[in-house]
């Protein structure tokens, strides 16, 4: 088999859904697999003139590619079936295309209720953390335990390694800055958001062809910690960039790109291809800044900022192919 991996290099909301959609449209994939997180994810996708927001279901479904919620995910049955219905209403065929790994764990009503009481971390209150806790405490429910999932269940080992000469695209959720090990603990998510996490969904390391890193030309964050400096420009960024959570609707805090975080994320994930989204937002705001070693580097033009980024990435141990994107629809 062969596999490509998509990973967010910041705090989520960087456009992974758009990149997945683009690669599905132009690639050779037989499967698309969500490899971490649950319905706390919100991937915005523009397909044939319509806007869709997916929380569980991978973007392969838009192109008739078999789409699997992997064993590294936790799944809310109600959200899953609501999403199926929403896609069908939007003209997207799901029958025979959407599957759930039989060993994926389930988010229960009790998990959602417990998560709803959080006031410290600023979670999406979707029940992910309690569901993962019960998984590792070995008392959780798996998808194979619920009759409602019966027609959607799949054995991911048999599917990828025995029955098919698979070419898989692994679609991640959240971002490196929220990873439970590498993020700003305790202000992190409950899953692993790295390329290594994708391998836990039945992918042998030698199968990986590319690791696509996704970032924005600035940063956003949703959660309890203080992230946004006092400056009117960040309110403008939020307005122009439409920076409101796809899952919660909460306004995202904005800041300039932290280059040290991005470099660390790119190196740890072994990024081979690096997409910077929302070039057009900085162009409208007419401010081009980056934080490097906590100091603001100011540029007089978009081209100056791009040249600086290209020079910096050329010194990475794995020199990535760099793309600057200014469209919500394609790279």
Q: Which active-site residues does the annotation give? A: 13, 43
d(C-alpha 93, C-alpha 241), whole Å: 31
What number of residues does the chain have? Answer: 331
Residue with tokens 């790109």: 257
Residue pair 221/227 in contact (Cβ under 8 Å)? The answer is: yes
List, in sequence order, the alpha helices (H) in 36-166: 77-89, 109-115, 128-136, 156-157
**DSSP annotation of 96:** T
Residue with tokens 């958001």: 193
**5-33 per-residue burial string, b: 16 or more CB within 10 A, e: under 16:** bbbbbbbbbbbbbbbbbbbbeebebbbbb
Residue 136 φ/ψ, nearest 5 degrees: -75, -20
Helix (H) / strand (E) element for 266: namely helix 259-269
d(C-alpha 267, C-alpha 288), whole Å: 24
List, in sequence order, the alpha helices (H) in 58-164: 77-89, 109-115, 128-136, 156-157
Residue 51's nearest CA partner among 60, 41, 62 is 62
Residue 177's nearest CA partner among 244, 281, 252 is 252
Residue with tokens 């132009």: 26
Measured in Å, how far apart are the chain's first and last C-alpha atoms?
A: 26
Helix (H) / strand (E) element for 283: namely helix 279-285
């Amino acid at each position: 088999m062969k596999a490509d991996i998509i990973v967010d290099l910041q705090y989520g909301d960087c456009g992974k859904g758009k990149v997945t959609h683009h690669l599905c449209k132009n690639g050779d994939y037989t499967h698309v697999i969500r490899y971490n997180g649950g319905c706390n994810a919100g991937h915005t996708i523009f397909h044939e003139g319509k806007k869709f927001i997916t929380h569980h279901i991978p973007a392969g479904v838009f192109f008739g590619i078999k789409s699997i919620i992997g064993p590294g995910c936790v799944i809310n049955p109600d959200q899953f079936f609501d999403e199926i219905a929403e896609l069908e209403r939007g003209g997207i065929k799901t029958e025979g295309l959407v599957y759930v790994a039989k060993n994926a764990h389930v988010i229960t009503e009790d998990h959602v209720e417990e998560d709803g009481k959080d006031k410290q971390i600023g979670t999406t209150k979707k029940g992910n953390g309690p569901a993962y806790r019960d998984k590792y405490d070995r008392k959780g429910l798996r998808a194979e335990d619920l009759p409602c999932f019966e027609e959607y269940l799949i054995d991911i080992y048999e599917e990828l390694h025995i029955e098919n000469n698979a070419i898989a695209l692994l679609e991640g959720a959240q971002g490196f800055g929220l990873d439970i090990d590498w993020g700003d603990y305790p202000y992190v998510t409950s899953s692993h958001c790295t390329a290594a996490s994708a391998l836990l969904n039945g992918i042998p390391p030698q199968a990986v062809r590319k690791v696509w890193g996704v970032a924005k030309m600035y940063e956003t964050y949703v959660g309890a910690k203080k992230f946004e400096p006092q400056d009117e420009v960040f309110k403008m960024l939020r307005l122009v960039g439409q920076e409101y959570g796809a899952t919660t609707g909460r306004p995202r805090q904005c800041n300039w790109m932290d280059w040290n975080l991005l470099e660390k994320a790119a190196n740890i994930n072994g990024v081979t291809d690096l997409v910077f989204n929302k070039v057009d937002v900085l162009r409208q705001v007419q401010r081009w800044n980056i934080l490097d070693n906590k100091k603001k580097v100011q540029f007089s033009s978009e081209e100056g900022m791009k040249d600086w980024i290209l020079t910096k990435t050329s010194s990475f141990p794995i020199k990535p192919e760099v793309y600057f994107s200014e469209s919500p629809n394609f790279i």
